[in-house]
């Protein structure tokens, strides 16, 4: 199919508001593909959309199939703003969550710009039916097979064919379940084909999208009536496509986080029962507020193996900070051995009597000797710090030593 290649455009958007690479890899959507270095591409709402990012802008290019009908209005900007929920100020939310929760604060400094997508509810629903007992890599493969086999083909870019997501009608045929089994979907094949039939034939047109207008609990209960949908899948759909920011999906990652950082895993919440699932969600809603699901996604991303490089870097940074603190403390002890002259009398800085006598014989003032010794200490510290590569501590210690020398000098002049 011929394509109408679009130009690159850009939207002003900081990394603290959207970190594209993190958001598209953290298990919300499974169709974005790393197409070129720093670029992500997906077939979305009848177009092939490619995104990239720098420190201050989100760059985008939309490619549409060439149709015989009149050109459609390019609503790509509106689509991007809606899809990434860009009307919500993420920076302010991070500030609020960090103030309420020290555990969140520790992760927030490494995982900025993670926001919830506002996906098509049908795509979101089917994708998370595929997530049962699965990992992100395999879910992505399954969703890609689903689109390639059943979805409308939009075209090819850089040798890769892109298909839009299939509708419920395209997944409800008699042979769908068997086809999905042949593609490796296993028991999920029946869930998908059955749910497609329910949505297409037993619900009103627009029923799924209409769940955005009801409250969280009602939407959650409505989703549980579908085949292959349990509490976690229902919460994922509520959070990621139905505008229910308070929904907190609890899977094995979140359960581990709740045990490790928030005191779950003991007493009546020793195992992940239905009551414990609800208790974890209620705890986070009380802690983080109405957008608890958004906050939970940051901790979820921090727990993923896909972001192990960030975690390793965080561990290295913490180790460097600990080592630096120990060295600084050791130097403070050494500096503390030089005793300043008390404000009101006292013996002041202790000098080696022999060296004082030698200096007097050579016509050197005692105050000058003290100054030189302090400066020599500062120089030795400076050389040490340069070898260790900790310039900030060098300047701090040198400043302290110079201040001590100045005080000694002023007192000797009095």
Three-class HEC string of 26-88: CCCCCCCEECCCCCEEEEECCEEEEEEECCCEEEEEEEEECCCCCCCCCCHHHHHHHHCCCCC
Helix (H) or strand (E) holding 144: helix 136-150
Using CA atoms, how far apart are residues 119 and 240, in angstroms rounded to an integer?
A: 6
Is 232 tagged catalytic?
yes
Residue 214: which of 329, 353, 121 has the closest Cα? 121
What are the residues facing 4 on neighbouring strands? 64
Residue 46: which of 64, 20, 67 has the closest Cα? 64
**In this structure, what DSSP letter does residue 389 have?**
T
Residue in the block written with tokens 């907190």: 248
Residue 288: which of 328, 323, 239 has the closest Cα? 239
- Determine the number of helices (DSSP H) and then strands (DSSP E) in the chain: 18, 8
Residue 321: which of 138, 109, 167 has the closest Cα? 109
Cβ-in-10-Å burial (0-12, 13-18, 19+) of 299 comes to: buried
Q: Are 255 and 272 in contact (CB under 8 A)?
A: yes
Q: Are 293 and 244 in contact (CB under 8 A)?
A: yes
Using CA atoms, how far apart are residues 316 and 20, in angstroms rounded to an integer?
A: 24
Structure tokens at 253: 């990652």
Residue 243: which of 204, 211, 278, 279 has the closest Cα? 211
Count the neighbouring beta carbons within 10 Å of the beta carbon of residue 92: 9
Pick the catalytic residue from 232, 270, 377, 409. Answer: 232
Q: Catalytic amino acids?
A: 232
């Amino acid at each position: 199919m011929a394509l109408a290649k679009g130009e690159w455009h850009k939207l002003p958007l900081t990394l603290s508001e959207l970190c594209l690479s993190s958001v598209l890899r953290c298990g919300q959507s499974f169709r974005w593909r790393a197409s070129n270095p720093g670029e992500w591409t997906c077939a979305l709402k009848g177009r092939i959309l490619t995104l990239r990012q720098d420190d201050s802008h989100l760059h985008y290019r939309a490619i549409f199939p060439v149709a015989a009908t009149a050109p459609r209005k390019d609503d790509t900007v509106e689509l991007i703003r809606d899809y990434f929920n860009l009307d919500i100020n993420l920076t302010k939310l991070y500030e609020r969550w960090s103030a309420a929760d020290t555990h969140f604060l520790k992760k927030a400094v490494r995982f900025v710009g993670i926001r919830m997508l506002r996906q098509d509810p049908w795509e979101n629903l089917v994708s998370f039916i595929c997530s049962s007992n699965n990992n992100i890599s395999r879910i992505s493969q399954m969703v890609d097979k689903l689109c390639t086999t059943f979805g409308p083909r939009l075209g090819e870019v850089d040798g890769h064919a892109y298909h839009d997501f299939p509708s419920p009608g395209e997944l409800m045929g008699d042979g769908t379940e068997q086809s999905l089994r042949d593609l490796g979907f296993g028991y999920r094949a029946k869930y998908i084909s059955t749910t497609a039939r329910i949505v297409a034939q037993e619900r009103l047109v627009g029923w799924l999208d209409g769940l955005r207008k009801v409250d969280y609990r009602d939407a959650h209960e409505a989703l549980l009536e579908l085949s292959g949908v349990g509490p976690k899948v229902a919460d994922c759909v509520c959070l990621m496509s139905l505008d229910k920011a308070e929904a907190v999906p609890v899977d094995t990652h979140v359960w581990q986080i709740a045990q490790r950082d928030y005191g779950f895993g003991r007493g009546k919440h020793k195992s992940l029962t239905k009551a414990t699932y609800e208790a974890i969600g209620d705890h986070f809603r009380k802690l983080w507020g109405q957008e608890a699901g958004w906050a939970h996604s940051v901790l979820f991303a921090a727990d993923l193996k896909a972001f192990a490089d960030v975690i390793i870097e965080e561990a290295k940074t913490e180790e460097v900070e600990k080592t630096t603190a120990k060295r600084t403390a050791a130097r403070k002890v050494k500096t503390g051995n030089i005793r300043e002259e008390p404000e009101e009398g006292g013996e002041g800085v202790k000098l080696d009597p022999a060296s004082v006598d030698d200096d007097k014989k050579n016509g050197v003032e005692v105050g000058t000797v003290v100054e030189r010794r302090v400066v020599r200490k500062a120089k030795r510290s400076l050389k040490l710090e340069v070898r260790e590569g900790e310039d900030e501590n060098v300047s701090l210690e040198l400043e302290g030593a110079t201040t001590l020398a100045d005080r000694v000098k002023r007192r000797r002049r009095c």
